[in-house]
């Protein structure tokens, strides 16, 4: 994409609620979007990041300096389409990769999502680290003034107390990969795909395809249900366990999910990740609070307290379970983040229930946490 005049004029911009404005040039959809501006420290995986439903409501700044050279490939999607509100990069490049089906700019355009390039993403990232996650207005059209963009950012409601899970959740229940066409690839199995003998239900608060693949690779037959599915309907499916998925925005806004999870505890083994972990924290009597600038990337060190083992993990969340709010006679903290000592995992001391704050399916990211899906299987078989 070599529109030199557009790049020189920089009529597009990112406006933050504090009045900061970053001039830019646009690629992708000619659209303007509101969102919380976050930075992601991962080097690879922009396709998975953009299609991760957890990024709904967020404008993603990538800290890697050059983005776009691998193009876009449907096999790397983590949901049906791009879910982030917008993308910010330092230097956009056209694809040069044998797997590319279309350029990043074309993929953004097809999803109606704007991108900005030509921004000093180092300066923006430092600003986000120092001042926290701001509300932002991404203007790719150049149709309004920067001052108007700042005003719109300030007036936007933001993500606090907002239920975005319903925006990204499935509308109807479905069985994942009934023909086993999607689960045996990627070179992640040591042998043939096991029989789908363990029926489980996965709540879709913004679930990713690779989570479903990981569960299927453990011999589970996964029925995915909408975020608001009552606990009674889940139990009527007679599953052997329940999985609580990742998802976007504020867990405190999902009172219906908290109630359903509370009703399932003690009846079935439960595993939660990311938003599901936070919802489980509420269901167990705790609460959540906002992190200053969140955890976004595939290089976060997490320590398992029992073994002392450190995992490098993939994460995307702006909220955390407040450790002080947990009843330690019933809930044990199992993992902590080594960057800031926040809760990264917990388990119930008496019931077969556990969760982690990060994304153990790691798409993108390392495979250090794959064992957690086997741990869930073992919990089901021994419950």
Catalytic hit among 139, 274, 298, 335 = 274
Catalytic hit among 47, 48, 344, 361 = 361
Residue 274 a catalytic site member: yes
With H, G, I as helix, E, B as strand and everything else as coil, classify residue 347.
strand
Whether the bond between 53 and the residue before it is cis, its omega within 30 degrees of 0, is no
Quick one: tokens of 72?
Answer: 């876009």
Residue 361 a catalytic site member: yes
Report the sign of the C-alpha dihedral through residues 217, 212, 358, 350, in that order: negative
Residue 359 a catalytic site member: yes
Catalytic hit among 90, 300, 335, 359 = 359
Neighbouring-strand partners of residue 354: 271, 347
What own/partner pairs with CB < 8 Å and gap ≥ 24 does 187-191 have?
A: 188/213, 188/217, 188/367, 189/217
Whether the bond between 364 and the residue before it is cis, its omega within 30 degrees of 0, is yes
How far apart, in whole angstroms, are the C-alpha atoms of residue 328 and residue 281? 12
With H, G, I as helix, E, B as strand and everything else as coil, classify residue 81.
coil
Nearest to 20 by CA among 133, 150, 156: 150
Q: In the block, which residue shows the tokens 């307290």?
A: 305
Segments in the chain forming alpha helices (H): 4-9, 46-51, 104-111, 121-131, 146-155, 165-168, 209-217, 231-236, 255-264, 275-283, 371-382
Quick one: tokens of 134?
Answer: 């701001």
- The widest CA-to-CA distance across the chain, in whole angstroms, is 65
Active site residues: 274, 359, 361
């Amino acid at each position: 994409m070599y529109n030199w005049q557009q790049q020189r004029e920089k009529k597009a911009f990112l406006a933050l609620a504090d009045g900061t404005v970053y001039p830019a040039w646009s690629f992708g959809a000619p659209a303007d979007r509101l969102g919380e501006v976050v930075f992601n420290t991962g080097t690879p995986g922009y396709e998975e990041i953009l299609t991760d439903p957890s990024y709904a409501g967020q404008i993603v700044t990538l800290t890697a300096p050059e983005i776009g050279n691998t193009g876009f490939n449907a096999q790397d999607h983590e949901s049906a389409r791009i879910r982030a509100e917008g993308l910010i990069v330092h230097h956009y490049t056209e694809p040069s990769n044998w797997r590319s089906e279309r350029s990043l700019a074309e993929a953004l355009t097809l999803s109606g999502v704007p991108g900005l390039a030509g921004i000093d993403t180092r300066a923006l990232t430092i600003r986000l680290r120092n001042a926290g996650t701001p509300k932002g207005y991404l203007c790719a059209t150049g149709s309004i003034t920067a001052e108007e963009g700042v005003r719109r950012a300030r007036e936007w409601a933001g993500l606090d107390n907002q239920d975005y899970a319903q925006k990204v959740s499935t509308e109807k229940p479905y069985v994942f990969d009934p023909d086993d066409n999607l689960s045996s690839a990627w070179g992640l199995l040591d042998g043939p795909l096991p029989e789908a003998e363990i029926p489980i239900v996965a709540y879709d608060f913004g679930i990713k395809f690779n989570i479903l693949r990981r569960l299927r690779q453990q011999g589970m037959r996964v029925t995915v249900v909408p975020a608001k599915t009552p606990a009674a309907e889940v139990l009527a499916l007679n599953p052997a366990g329940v999985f609580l998925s990742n998802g976007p925005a504020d867990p405190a806004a999902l009172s219906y999910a908290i109630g359903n999870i509370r009703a399932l505890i003690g009846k079935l083994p439960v595993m939660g990740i990311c938003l599901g972990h936070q919802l489980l924290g509420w269901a167990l009597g705790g609460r959540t609070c906002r992190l200053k600038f969140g955890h976004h990337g595939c290089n976060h060190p997490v320590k398992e307290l029992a073994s002392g083992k450190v995992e490098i993990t993939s994460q995307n969340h702006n909220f955390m379970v407040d450790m002080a709010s947990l009843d330690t006679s019933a809930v044990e903290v199992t993992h902590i983040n080594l960057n800031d000592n926040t809760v990264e995992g917990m388990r119930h001391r008496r019931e077969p229930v556990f969760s982690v704050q990060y994304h153990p399916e790691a798409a993108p990211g390392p495979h250090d946490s794959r064992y957690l899906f086997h741990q869930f299987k073992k919990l089901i078989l021994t419950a």
